[in-house]
Structure 1
Amino acid sequence: MLTGRIEEQKILARKMSSGEAELIAVYGRRRVGKTFLIRTYCKDRIIFEVTGIHEASFKDQLQNFSLALQAAMKSKVPIATPENWIKAFHMLDQCLDDLPKNKSAVLFFDEFPWLHTQRSGFLQAFEHWWNSSASKKEHLKVIICGSAASWMIDQVINNKGGLHNRVTQTIRLLPFTLAETEQYLISRGIRLSHYLILQLYMAMGGIPHYLKGIQKGESVAQVIDRLCFTKDGLLKGEFKNLYQSLFTNSHHHETVIRALAKKGKGLTRNEIIAECGLSSGGTTTKILKELEESGFIAPYIPFEKTEKESIYKLSDEYSLFYLRFIEHAKATGAGTWIRQSTTASYTIWSGFAFESVCQKHVLQIKRALGIEGVLTEVSGWRYMPPKAKKGAQIDLLLDRQDKVINLCEMKFANGEFVIDKKYAEELENKISVFRSETKTKSAIFPTMITTYGVKINDYYRDIVQGEIVMGDLFK
């Protein structure tokens, strides 16, 4: 069964019944469920499927293609391996000619970028086949899928050659939201409280393949111990595989991820260059773009600033969790996570992780505030003054068309959050500095986003203008 993916299913439904040939490009990070979505939704329509082999040779990819053709034709006799991709697609056409044409038929190319080995001519042959043959067959729906998101965008979606403007639909598959994560766990017979689901989400994100590792009857501590701190745990060695399978020269990408993991408040492009020892040219731009399109980092445009002044943050929950707790873990096995959760490192991590989760659920936050229909610009803001003055950073601002700015404070706690004198002064300083430096004429509504709500006291009454609790993020 498919969990969530409502909009994606609507798109696929329209394309399956369009009466025209369709070229659909699906991309998203590794383990996010792209293959499962296509195989499950299109299972009765797939007449041909081939999956590229990571780092395989030109010859092996062609042999893999011929075996896929043999399976599609249900032939017991092996099919000769084609000499090149032009002949391979000619053989595919011959196979298609023998199949019925009275209903939509899906040709599924999974891990499409891996099929395009160096100097193989695969992409050029695919372009020629689509333009000269496949696009003329109204019943054909060609779906190409890849985890190397940047490659898919550069080489397919924004192709300047034979595929220019040929893709009829793109689908970027994102991790599950909190609500979809809850639905997915329920579909597997696992029922946990919102607080426990949130803790799991902060550690592994909404990645279906990771969530699949959760077993019935386990506590959060048991799940994390088994998946992250045992020798054969699913997430113990995932980090290296994750980046090496997606990016050429992946050590550069890992360096950026490690730098951002140390700076929860984010880094500008120039700060990333300085931290990582990168050049200021196109290489850095390419690395940041690849990481962004694959969903590992996210740029946030500061309030009243331009895209060039974006602050980049690590948005992949698992990568942050791995670098903070798994990579250099000395303890292993049962009880490891319980011990970790009493440390200062846990407190710092949980704060940043919760902020990241909230920033991915802005739609739910707007809905809870009753401003879903109000045009809103989402941003952050930071002020770094001379040493004599006090700075300020705001990680989530909702600048509304109705002349109100929700200044959001995100706080993770295992009970009611208490605004004490010190924190009240800090919050008042943020508001004062923000108003002074931006000269905004909008009303400022300090808005608390917490797990279990904020304890009502004099500070709460004096400052807070809006409140959102954990449950709102699940709606």
Structure 2
Amino acid sequence: MFVGRDRELAALGRRWNSSRFECVVVYGRRRVGKTTLINRFLEGKPSIFFPAIESNMEGNLETLSRSIAMYRAGLGDAAGDLGNAAESAPIYRDFASALEAVFALAQRRRLAFVIDEYPYLAKADRSVSSVLQHAIDRHKDDSRLMIILCGSSMSFMERQVLGYASPLYGRRTAQIRVEPFGYADVRKFLPKYTAEEAAVAYGLTDGIPQYLRQFDDATSIRDNIRWNIIDPDCYLFEEPGNLLKQELRAPAEYNTVIQAIASGASRSNAIATASHMETSSCATYLRNLIDLGIVRKETPFGEDSPRKTIYRIEDSFFRFWYRYVPVNMPLIRSGNVDMAADRIMRSINDFMGAVFEDMCMQWLWAHNGTDDLPFLLLDAGRWWGADPRTRSQEEIDIVAAGEEPKTMLFCECKWRSVPSELRQLETLRSRSELLHPERAHYMLFSRNGFDEHVTARAAQDDAVTLVDFADM
């Protein structure tokens, strides 16, 4: 089943329909569905798909040569014998020769040439990007080739392909960063689930397609946690460790940093202390985890003071795994996985609090520019800080601003089993005063609706909007 990705497919389609040379960079974290997206786009189109491998250049040239041979065979009478054509294909002596052959095939006919996991190829031979640059410069004006460079190493793609210092800088014609699914697409992925069940599944998987494929929407959330996340034999049980091993040189140290954040450390010095490492070393680990999309660096909305910077686990699957699996490992390893699943389910609503905030943010951006919002949003984020009136730390789930100075939207997001009450609105009003808005609007999001008191207040006050999860 193919779900979503309408924007990405439309972007690729526009580049294909230009009929001129195109070089599109498609990148995103592992398991996010880049290859599936590209294969969907290629359906019915002439293409050479080259999956680069973690090997030396000779091994990659063999794979590339076979990919070109299969395309050539598909053009002729041997279309039904692609396997034999690939096996008997001559091996190009170098990457430059292979590129010349590909460009020659695209002189008169539109052709897509995909290099999947481009970082593997570039690491096998550091001259690859320069060779590709020179080939593009020679042929771009008279070629109908569409090159797609795909990669999972976020830091490599952003610095070595998209970055100013890259030989390919200025050669790309488009770039597409493939993100995890939002809640709306997760609902399509798990059609048998209720809206609430799909929301929890979204939180458990972070919207990663490969993780969603492990879920069975014919069974309960509890059973999916039991059998598809915390069971020692299942795919997702080892996933955090496997991902760190694939992407990073010192997975044990990174594991320690993530565990420190999951245990409550949020500032760099606190994370370093909890991880038993120097602050400078910890900063490097944090930066690499940010590149992978696992950790997020934040400052309060409207502020950029380094003193107020905190780090949180961005990936909600990692957030779930590190919150629940280590503490339940004795039960899991001793064969009491059912007991562990029951323990997790008792606090799943607490876990969903941060997930629901993310979903509400998605809802705001999806409805931006409509009558559902009081003004056009230009920026939004979380806010936290000290209240001098009470000498306590306060938080606001979402603060958004638009074009008018000091016109702000303040949002409270509650994933609770009871209706939201008037006191939540009053608390939000009180906290909003700490940002000194000239014109304030308030929005309450609630999993289980609203009681009669806050409903009556919202009916009388145009500055208050109530959003029930059932209507989201």
Short-chain TM bin: 0.7 to 0.9
Partner SS, residue 235 of structure 1: helix
Alignment of 1:103-122 (within 5 A): 103-117=109-123, 120-122=126-128
- In structure 2, the CA distance between the partners of 1:277 and 1:466, relative to structure 1 (3 Å rule), is farther
Alignment of 1:55-454 (within 5 A): 56-74=55-73, 75=85, 78-79=88-89, 81=91, 87-94=94-101, 96-97=103-104, 99=105, 101-117=107-123, 120-133=126-139, 135-185=140-190, 190-215=191-216, 217-263=218-264, 267-268=266-267, 272=271, 276=275, 287-306=285-304, 308=306, 310-327=309-326, 328-329=328-329, 330-331=331-332, 335-336=338-339, 339-343=342-346, 345-364=347-366, 366=368, 370-371=372-373, 374-384=376-386, 389-401=391-403, 404-414=407-417, 416-419=418-421, 424=423, 428=426, 431-435=429-433, 437-445=434-442, 447-454=443-450
- In structure 2, the CA distance between the partners of 1:121 and 1:374, relative to structure 1 (3 Å rule), is same
Partner SS, residue 461 of structure 1: helix
Q: Of the two structures, which has the highest relative contact order with CA contacts closer than 8 Å and spacing of 6 or more?
A: 1
**Aligned-residue RMSD, C-alpha:** 3.3
- In structure 2, the CA distance between the partners of 1:177 and 1:293, relative to structure 1 (3 Å rule), is same
- In structure 2, the CA distance between the partners of 1:341 and 1:240, relative to structure 1 (3 Å rule), is closer
In 2, Cα distance between equivalents of 1:419 and 1:233:
41
Q: Which runs of 5+ in 2 are unaligned?
A: 74-84
CA deviations over 1:81-119 (Å, ceiling 9, x no partner): 556xxx22313423553x464442111111111222266
In 2, Cα distance between equivalents of 1:175 and 1:132:
37
The match for 2:48 is 48
CA contact (8 A) 1:34 1:173 kept: yes
Equivalences, count: 452
- In structure 2, the CA distance between the partners of 1:364 and 1:417, relative to structure 1 (3 Å rule), is farther
CA contact (8 A) 1:73 1:95 kept: no
**How far does residue 165 in structure 1 lie from its aligned partner after superposition?**
1.2
Stretch of structure 1 that moved more, 380-389 or 390-399:
380-389
CA contact (8 A) 1:3 1:183 kept: yes
Q: Which runs of 5+ in 1 are unaligned?
A: none
- In structure 2, the CA distance between the partners of 1:77 and 1:466, relative to structure 1 (3 Å rule), is closer
Stretch of structure 1 that moved more, 155-164 or 285-294:
285-294
- In structure 2, the CA distance between the partners of 1:22 and 1:247, relative to structure 1 (3 Å rule), is farther
The match for 2:76 is none
CA contact (8 A) 1:365 1:468 kept: no
Give the structure with the higher percent helix: 2
In 1, Cα distance between equivalents of 2:219 and 2:363:
27
Partner SS, residue 135 of structure 2: helix
In 2, Cα distance between equivalents of 1:270 and 1:444:
36
In 2, Cα distance between equivalents of 1:119 and 1:3:
36
CA deviations over 1:4-34 (Å, ceiling 9, x no partner): 1111111111100112211100111111110
In 1, Cα distance between equivalents of 2:368 and 2:166:
42
- In structure 2, the CA distance between the partners of 1:361 and 1:295, relative to structure 1 (3 Å rule), is farther
TM-score, length basis structure 2: 0.83
- Report sequence identity in percent: 22
CA deviations over 1:367-392 (Å, ceiling 9, x no partner): 78722861342122212468972221
CA contact (8 A) 2:193 2:217 kept: no
